[in-house]
Structure 1
Amino acid sequence: MTETVMGRKKRTRYEIIHDILSQCENGAKKTWLMYKANLSYELTNNYINRLVEKDLITSKDGLYYLTDKGKKLLELLKEYKEKKTALDKVTAQIKEIYGED
């Protein structure tokens, strides 16, 4: 689930993985992944290590690339993100009508 942190929504693990994988489509350096996914160095390393372990990304010449398995997961995560966005809009409307913040 997402939580609100100082007015911002906290991203889910799947949203973070989506952000990382989408950057790896054409190859990305670790620092670029860290910047684009808005993660600390430590969190970036944790996610990269897990994604490499699960054969979702691979490293070559200092860049990270999607594997075929990673491409499949990225497509599913894109679908997840679209549906989550739509659901968040419906939830906001429900809260507005029902009177919750």
Structure 2
Amino acid sequence: MLIGFTVFRGKILSGEKRQTIRLKRKRVPRVGEPLYLYWKLRTKECMLLKKVVCKEVIPITWAAMRDNLQLAKEDGFETLEEFRKWFSRYNPKDDTEFVVIRW
């Protein structure tokens, strides 16, 4: 599965960031499946950052993640405010479903 990033390039390359949180879709990766992590997918700047294996997929709601500082830090954010601001673009409700994808 292809996963694109526009932030946290350094943290992905260094191995500090080993997960991503995405809106739940019809198709989510399966444990054991290869993940191709790309920088700026579908642009002229597109570059493969890493090929990794999916280790865990965790369904989670906005209500369960919005106040979770540990989850925010594991995802590359320094503060909950930064984390909430990033995800506010989805206009999440308490029951909005996301998935945590770990490699």
| Rg larger in structure | 1
Pairwise same-fold verdict (TM > 0.5): no
Higher relative contact order (CA 8 A, sep 6+): 2
> If the TM-score is normalised by the length of the shorter chain, which range does it land in?
0.3 to 0.5
What TM-score do the two structures reach when normalised by structure 2? 0.33
More strand by share: 2
More helix by share: 1
What TM-score do the two structures reach when normalised by structure 1? 0.33
